[in-house]
Amino acid sequence: MKYSVDPLREYRIWRRYAYRFLPAWGGAMLLCLNSIAGDMAYSLSYYANVYHLPTEYAFATGMALCLLYYVGQTLLYEGSHLAPRVLIPVVVVNTLLSIAYLANNSPTLLNLLPLFSALFYILVLNSKNHRRYTSMLRVKRRRKVRNSAPDP
């Protein structure tokens, strides 16, 4: 049996999902990237100076965090169950970097911003709206795999 999709119907479904879930997904994306950027600007450059390393190490670590984050987002979009296993460690590393930096330096608003954005990102990841979006993506992936399987 051939599975055919009406493009107009698909567009309306995805538009409805975008209005419903895009603020949670986009907000989570911006929060994590803000936390990574803040850690690159403060924590990682501070530790590179403390341990007499070139600043390229701080930049490379920040880029590795960004790469892991984008891999996690891609897995999330594909509906994989491995996405939380990639995204949660990135958030934990961001939080620990922010806390360790604040333990050695005086807190200012710019120093606290990466910590607050990482903690708020954890809340968004565990929100009901974000969980509904990820479960909807998993269902879509299962249907796609089931429909693309050859008929016996």
d(CA 131, CA 31) in angstroms, rounded, equals: 17
Q: What is the mean pLDDT of the chain?
A: 82
Is the predicted pLDDT of residue 9 greater than 70, yes or no?
A: yes
d(CA 112, CA 127) in angstroms, rounded, equals: 23
Higher pLDDT, 113 or 148: 113
Higher pLDDT, 140 or 35: 35
The pLDDT tens digits of the residues spanning 72-124 come to 888 877 777 788 888 889 999 999 999 989 998 888 888 898 899 888 888 88
Percent share of the chain, pLDDT over 70: 93
Average pLDDT over residues 18-46: 81
Q: pTM for this one?
A: 0.74
Is the predicted pLDDT of residue 142 greater than 70, yes or no?
A: yes
> pLDDT at position 152, please?
60
Amino acid in the structure at residue 138: R
Tokens of 96: 């620990």
d(CA 104, CA 87) in angstroms, rounded, equals: 27
> pLDDT at position 64, please?
93
Handedness of CA 111, 43, 73, 121 (dihedral sign): negative
H/E segment holding residue 136: helix 128-148
Count of Cβ atoms closer than 10 Å to residue 65 Cβ: 24
> pLDDT at position 1, please?
47
Average pLDDT over residues 141-150: 76
Which sequence spans correspond to the domains of the chain?
24-143
